[in-house]
A = this chain, B = another copy of it.
């Protein structure tokens, strides 16, 4: 009675791999018992997994184990994935509420990479999707949200890395005092801000902090002509509330997962 449209061999292979992850070494009979699959089937699935490199077999004996290649299925899975899983619905909710597009980004090397954007949902037409686009740390709202509120050591690391890179885009880097003033301004304001010209858009962003660490930034875009102190205050509060919700949900989910991961 498997719900239709499910490719059975795949479901079976995954259950085998999941079972193999419970113990370091497995025999065919172990897996037969653990999954309820007929032994010839287990055998054939293992042959497939071996051929694909995810399973290794003891040469002489019939003992199987997962290889390090299983990490290629999950190594990208970390805090950022949690952030997205929890963050995307929140971002969509904000856009439903205030119409303006919302984006979630993370730090990658020395830029902010947009991971998710509700731009397509927004009724206000703006230029195409920004997903996977990289944004400069200086001069963008999301970048400011990171630089202005990360820990001092992290800041120094980033600045050093920026100085080391060959192409110098930010002339601000030439003066330490300029940097300090720039960052202090962001901190005083309480959020990242990049005001666009008339006809362009203006962006505001804040960090998403968990455990004193910035795990990502969340930003909102708005037509420059619609931007003023009043809406800034309103949307800032909304972003802060949302960031808080994201962190709370993440903590809960991660605690849950930790617990159920035997």
Binding site for B on A (CB under 8 A): 3, 5-7, 9-11, 13-14, 17-18, 21-25, 44-45, 47-49, 51-52, 54, 56, 58-61, 65-68, 70-77, 80-82, 84-85, 88-89, 92, 115-116, 120-121, 131-132, 253, 257, 261
Copies of this protein chain in the complex: 2
Q: List the 3 closest A-B pairs by CB distance, nearest first.
A: A70-B74, A10-B13, A21-B76
Q: Which residues of B contact A132 (CB under 8 A)?
A: 23
User: Judging by beta carbons under 8 Å apart, are A81 and B24 in contact?
Assistant: yes
Distance (whole angstroms) from the CB of A107 to the closest CB of chain B: 14
Q: Which residues of B contact A45 (CB under 8 A)?
A: 7, 10
A84 to B56: give the CA distance in the assembly, Å. 11
User: Judging by beta carbons under 8 Å apart, are A18 and B73 in contact?
Assistant: yes
- Given A73-B74, A261-B71 in contact, is the A54-B14 Cβ separation under 8 Å? yes
User: Judging by beta carbons under 8 Å apart, are A120 and B73 in contact?
Assistant: no
Interface centre among A17, A65, A89 (most CB of B within 10 A): A65
- Given A70-B77, A74-B21, A257-B68 in contact, is the A11-B84 Cβ separation under 8 Å? no
Q: Which residues of B contact A89 (CB under 8 A)?
A: 59
Q: Which residues of B contact A61 (CB under 8 A)?
A: 120-121
Q: Which residues of B contact A21 (CB under 8 A)?
A: 72-77
User: Judging by beta carbons under 8 Å apart, are A88 and B11 in contact?
Assistant: no
User: Judging by beta carbons under 8 Å apart, are B60 and A121 in contact?
Assistant: yes
Interface centre among A14, A45, A67, A120 (most CB of B within 10 A): A14
A9's contact among B9, B75, B81, B115, by CB below 8 Å, is which? B9
